[in-house]
Amino acid sequence: MDLAMTLRLAWRSLQRNKMRSTLTMLGVIIGVGAVIATLAIGSGARASVQAQIASLGTNVVMVMGGTTSASGVRSFSLTQTLTTDDAEAIKRECPAVQLVSPTARTSGQIISSSANWSTQIQGGSQDYLAIRDWPVADGVTFTDADVRGTAKVCVLGKTTADALFPAGDDPVGQTIRIKDLPFKVVGVLSPKGGSAQGQDQDDIIIAPITTVQRKLTTNPNRVQSIMVSAVSADQVNDAIDQITSLLRQRHRIRQGADDDFMIRSQSEFANAAEETSRTMTLLLTAIAAVSLLVGGIGIMNIMLVSVTERTREIGIRMAVGARSGDIRWQFLVESAFLSLVGGAIGVAVGSASSGLITKLARWPTIVSPLSVILAFVFAAAIGIFFGYYPARKASRLDPIEALRYE
């Protein structure tokens, strides 16, 4: 028997029991659809995390103050142990460092001529936006002269600008009040989107750090963190080593004692987020694989029933010259056909479900060609694996006994 005849016979056999064939494919449809949707969610989550990590800036290293050790356990304290002088020393004495910005953060009520809004106020140096790779969409940013002169100027995040000027007025050049102090808006930042923690990065005001320290907070010298940009990606580790050595020396930390600061690189944030995303994807994929396995068992069960029902047909075919290989091949084709058609429908269902998840849950999903190919490969493997035993059983029937079967 050639392949074309085998396919025609398989199609006719499945057409005899359309409802049973449809219900048999249902398990594969659900399994493949679940795999596609799961991989799409995982791919979307990874892409989102990578974009959020990239939004921090290029080759960024974060130096945070206040790391302590209690009972042998490393922990993070809110105690501020870093100063503006530490930031200046890092920029001056660490050759692997390109840009440095001490940061101080507070929050407050912001009032414009037509609205008021509560948001975060971030203080930084003139290099802060360059480190964050955050361009100004309208206007300009503040300068080194503004930082040294404690100028009351600021740039607005897109969300804050829209909230303070809902009528569509141009914020640049306008005066707003931050904690009852007048500030001139010199620029509006381009949108950044959400952070890895789900916060709106555009809901912010950025001002010179000296202004934030001396006008909006009570501690004029301490800084909450120091943001650093390494010269290149290859020198990030060198920058970390140089900063660690310098700060231990400046803070007079003796040999063997714990640092009173913590350094985290962009790659560490990315690796942690990637590991979390990978674990979630593997867990969901394992659950989806169980559904696919159940679908395969359903195919085997129905094919065994089909062998029993068609025992006399098998005997007649053997009597007129069909070989055992022909019988085995026909049943394998039928099971593979069920799984492949179910897989195709499952891909469509999974893709549609991914789009629905993105639309309703606002969760990014990406259906990759690789996931579609893998789904088809697994569907075919399921059909062949679980169809082999019924096909083998059919091919080994005794023709005489099969002809006698009622």
**Domain locations in the chain?**
3-52+272-404, 82-250
Is 1 a residue whose pLDDT tops 60? no
Top mean pLDDT of 35-39, 227-231, 324-328 is at: 227-231
pLDDT in tens, 332-359: 888 888 888 888 898 899 889 888 888 8
Half-sphere exposure of 36 (CA within 13 A, CB side): 29
Is 383 a residue whose pLDDT tops 90? no
- Chain centre distance of CA 278: 9
Q: 281: closest CA among 96, 35, 1?
A: 35
Q: In this predicted structure, what is the pLDDT of residue 387?
A: 86
Q: In this predicted structure, what is the pLDDT of residue 89?
A: 94
Half-sphere exposure of 238 (CA within 13 A, CB side): 12
Element (H, E) at 253: none
- Chain centre distance of CA 360: 18
What is the SS3 assignment for 328? helix
Please give the average per-residue pLDDT across 393-397, as a whole number.
82
Q: In this predicted structure, what is the pLDDT of residue 197?
A: 57
Is 166 a residue whose pLDDT tops 70? yes
Neighbour-count burial of 261, counting CB atoms closer than 10 A to its CB (0-12 exposed, 13-18 middle, 19+ buried): buried
What distance in Å separates the CA atoms of residue 110 and residue 75, rounded to the nearest whole number?
34
Please, which residues have CB within 8 angstroms of residue 361's CB and are 6 or more apart in sequence?
Answer: none
Please give the average per-residue pLDDT across 224-240, as a whole number.
89
Average pLDDT of the chain? 83
Top mean pLDDT of 33-42, 60-69, 105-114 is at: 105-114
Q: In this predicted structure, what is the pLDDT of residue 185?
A: 95
Q: In this predicted structure, what is the pLDDT of residue 329?
A: 82
Phi, psi of 232 (to 5 degrees): -155, 170
Q: In this predicted structure, what is the pLDDT of residue 95?
A: 94
* CA-to-CA separations, 384 to 82, 130, 311, 334, 397, in angstroms, rounded: 65, 57, 21, 9, 20
Please give the average per-residue pLDDT across 188-217, as a whole number.
86
Q: In this predicted structure, what is the pLDDT of residue 153?
A: 96
Residue type present at position 117: W
Please give the average per-residue pLDDT across 163-191, as a whole number.
92
Top mean pLDDT of 154-158, 217-221, 254-258 is at: 154-158
Please give the average per-residue pLDDT across 207-215, as a whole number.
93
What distance in Å separates the CA atoms of residue 310 and residue 12, rounded to the nearest whole number?
13
| Confidence grade of residue 41 (pLDDT, cut at 50, 70, 90) | confident
Give 343 or 288, the one with higher predicted confidence.
343
Q: What is the pTM of this model?
A: 0.62
Is 94 a residue whose pLDDT tops 60? yes
Q: Which residues pair with 76 in a beta bridge?
A: 67
What distance in Å separates the CA atoms of residue 385 and residue 5, rounded to the nearest whole number?
22
Q: 25: closest CA among 286, 292, 288?
A: 292
Is 261 a residue whose pLDDT tops 80? yes
